[in-house]
A and B are shown apart, each in its own frame.
Chain A
Amino acid sequence: MKHLRSIPELGVDGIVRILGLANHMAEVNRRPVPKVPALNGRTIVSLFFEDSTRTRISFETAAMRLSADTMTFSVSTSSVNKGESLKDTIETVSAMGVAAFVVRHKTSGIPWQLSEWTDASIINAGDGWHQHPTQALLDSFTIMSTLGRSPSSDCLKGLTIGIVGDIRHSRVARSDIQAFTALGAKVVLVAPRTLLPPEVEAWPVTTSSCLDEVIGEVDVLYMLRMQRERMNEALVPNLGEYSARYGLDERRSKMLSEHALLMHPGPMNRGVEMLIDPASMPNNMITQQVANGVSVRMAVLFDVLGGSETGAGVVS
């Protein structure tokens, strides 16, 4: 695979392949010295045009554990602030001999535009409201491995996954929905109409505007971050009303079935969508998601930069 730009481009076979590789990488990460020489001498550049903590550090950790050389391009100190265009920037950095760019940008479609301007591989670390494929892969991996299942095209079969919150502006939701349904899960979106995407009827999901009606039936409760900036756009009356209808509070946490997993892509807005301490929940997966993120991103980098399906070169 040359690029990882979106879940649909990766396809179900690709998803299963990455999940399988991630199992190998998780094994590496359990070693006393979690580092292998697989990508020795390859240069990976993080191009983050939008703030990120966990995704950038997760990718950089993954790259270092595969012995790649990593560089970070930080917009605040770059020539972008001198008015250099995105095209000139990527062409300039490419000329230094880069194997892959890990890219985050506030605008949808940037990974496709960049791949017209460079021969390097493009790994999408989030573009606008569009895609965040490694998040979907690590979420799928987390659910699959927690349930003790093996990578296959129906490894999430029989599960109902509820995604709650601002679906409209969420690249996590778009990618997750595609990955979860590709792997056999049913997805129900829970949000007011104003936070659902246009023409959601065409999506392979069901929808509900009432969390109380849905919460007891989900095997996974996936809470999205509710951004405070959205309050200026007349999407919901105020954060208090949003919390009251869609926040996870004490009462709702008791409505969850015992086996249900709690997930969140982070960063959490405590007091908005998360009104209890998730650490108090027995099936809180949030930290596990972050840990799995490193394994999954190692799998992606390895796959994109010419690794083999069996992980040869990583696991002996």
Chain B
Amino acid sequence: MREEQTINIRGGRILDETTDAQGRLADVHISGGVIAEVVEAGSKLPKADIDLDVSGCVVSPGFVDLHVHLREPGREESETIETGSRAAALGGFTAVVAMPNTEPSQDSRIVVEFVRSQGERAGLCEVIPSGCITVGRSGQALAPYSELRDAGVTLFTDDGNGVQDPLLMRRALEYARDLDITLAQHCEVSSLTVGAVMHEGSCCSHLGLPGWPAIAEELMVHRDIELVRLTGSRIHFLHLSTERSVEMVRRAKAEGLQVTAEATPHHFTLTDEALRSFDPVFKVNPPLRTPADIAALKEGLRDGTIDAIATDHAPHASHLKEQPLDQAPPGMLGLETALALSLTELNMETQSVLAALSWNPARIAGVGDRHGRPVAVGEPANLAIFDPTHEWVVDRDVVASKSKNTPYHGRTVRGKVRHTVFAGQVVVRDGVAQR
């Protein structure tokens, strides 16, 4: 076990779910893994092992990423739970949901417990394993939900694949309802996307690349909303990417259905035009879409239709990405740039951005008891402390992730995480991981 730290955080502006949009200036003392004191700025605090002067910075509950690929077990050449956790901590995340498309898949207690324990060993953030909806993510048979729930899994998904069979999806939702777990869908009707490399539209038409049409996502969003209506269960939609998907979720929510949704920074900052370079770093699933889709995602985030910003952090080793576009695996890095892209591109109140990065996803992930909490006495000390005005240039050669496939290399962004406190420990200090 680690030795216990005491931490003082002075001069920051606290911004959480309970403050007003401006936040409030206050100093924080952390001891024993919890927030021990919150006092008026400049007041006396007990002595601490670590004193952080954070004037100009926001002190927020740590971020929660509903969607990361940590590649362990099975693809450790691209990322490990340790390197991915480090990238998460540097991005201000204190919890990440590890997608189940590992090798072997996270469809059994033993794999799920391995992922969780590797996260604990790294000690940089809470690694929350998700479980599969179907055994081996192959869409044939239901995974053992009860066994996995007993191992702490609350979010189930076949991410990377959508559940194609409507009967199986109906049964999964019915069964899940009894267990009070959440199914998360990767919406893609696979027969419409065979061989697809990029968004089907004028750009793919010009480039002669096989297209991934918006309808392939929208058909499954529509089907699952109707199945939620039928079964009374709940669903979370992963990485929504199209205008009509957002509109369908908006209507479903207005009808009171238990539907939540996430959007990724790359889907609200990049378009299919990026593929004109033929650089596989821009190949991602679902694909980068159009300016109209970006506008819809931003509006969805603004009006709360989309609950969460999730990164779909998907590291791939260079030798895997540097292949012909049809062979290169889809996916891009996201953990270290999510906050900055959100602050730079969304034109939203910082507090609303934090809702989408912290307390909303914490609840969807079932960890709302320990993440996304107000910065208040007695709460677990999981905090992100960031300078919202600091401009920096993304550099793929200095990322903490084991892979370099960020699509933002060379881009200037605003907003930088200075310190991250996880479980009462400073795991990132002055932008440097401490473990």
Contacts and interface: CB of A to CB of B under 8 A. Distances in A.
A171 interface: yes
Contacts of A200: 205
B323 A109 contact: no
Interface stretch (B80-88, B207-215, B226-234, B235-243): B207-215
A180 to B, nearest CB: 16
B326 interface: yes
A130 interface: yes
B412 interface: no
Given A108-B278, A113-B278, A85 B323 contact: yes
Given A85-B319, A112-B277, A199-B201, A130 B207 contact: yes
A105 B324 contact: yes
B200 A198 contact: yes
Interface size class of A (residues with CB under 8 A): 20 to 34
B209 A109 contact: yes
A113 B209 CA distance: 14
B92 to A, nearest CB: 33
A107 B208 CA distance: 9
Interface in B184-212: 197, 200-202, 204-209, 211
A113 B319 CA distance: 13
Contacts of B207: 108-109, 130
Interface string A80-114: 00000111000000000000000001111110110
Interface in B298-329: 319, 322-327
Given A85-B323, A202-B202, A131 B208 contact: yes
A87 B318 CA distance: 11
A130 B210 CA distance: 10
Interface string A184-198: 000000000000011
A130 B324 contact: no
B324 A86 contact: yes
Given A109-B207, A109-B209, A109-B278, A199 B202 contact: yes
A174 B280 CA distance: 22
Query: Most B CB atoms within 10 A — which of A131, A198, A203?
Result: A198
A129 interface: yes
Contacts of A171: 208
A171 B206 CA distance: 10
Interface residues of B, number: 23
Nearest to B199: A198
A153 B104 CA distance: 60
Contacts of A197: 205
Given A85-B323, A105-B324, A112-B278, A129 B201 contact: no
A202 B207 CA distance: 13
Contacts of A202: 202, 205
Nearest to B324: A107
A128 interface: yes
B324 A198 contact: no
A108 B208 contact: yes
A227 B322 CA distance: 30
B104 to A, nearest CB: 24
A110 to B, nearest CB: 6
B208 A128 contact: yes
B201 A130 contact: no
A241 B385 CA distance: 67
Contacts of B208: 108, 127-131, 171, 174
Nearest to A109: B278
Query: Most A CB atoms within 10 A — which of B279, B323, B324, B326?
Result: B324
A113 B211 contact: no
A24 B205 CA distance: 36
Contacts of B197: 108
Contacts of A198: 200-202, 204-205, 211, 213
A199 B201 CA distance: 6
Contact of A85 (B201, B209, B280, B322): B322
Interface in B257-284: 277-280
B33 to A, nearest CB: 48
Contacts of A105: 324
A199 B206 CA distance: 9
Contacts of B202: 198-199, 202
A85 B324 CA distance: 10
A169 to B, nearest CB: 8
B278 A199 contact: no
Interface in A177-220: 197-200, 202-203
B131 to A, nearest CB: 34
Query: Most B CB atoms within 10 A — which of A106, A107, A199?
Result: A107
A227 to B, nearest CB: 15
Of all A-B residue pairs in the complex, the 7 with the closest CB atoms, nearest first, are A109-B278, A129-B208, A130-B208, A107-B324, A197-B205, A112-B278, A199-B202
21 contacts: A85-B319, A87-B322, A106-B326, A107-B327, A108-B207, A108-B208, A108-B278, A109-B209, A110-B278, A112-B277, A113-B280, A128-B208, A129-B208, A129-B209, A198-B200, A198-B204, A198-B211, A199-B201, A200-B205, A202-B205, A203-B205
Given A87-B323, A199-B205, 11 more contacts: A85-B319, A107-B324, A107-B326, A108-B197, A108-B207, A108-B325, A109-B278, A112-B278, A113-B278, A198-B202, A198-B211
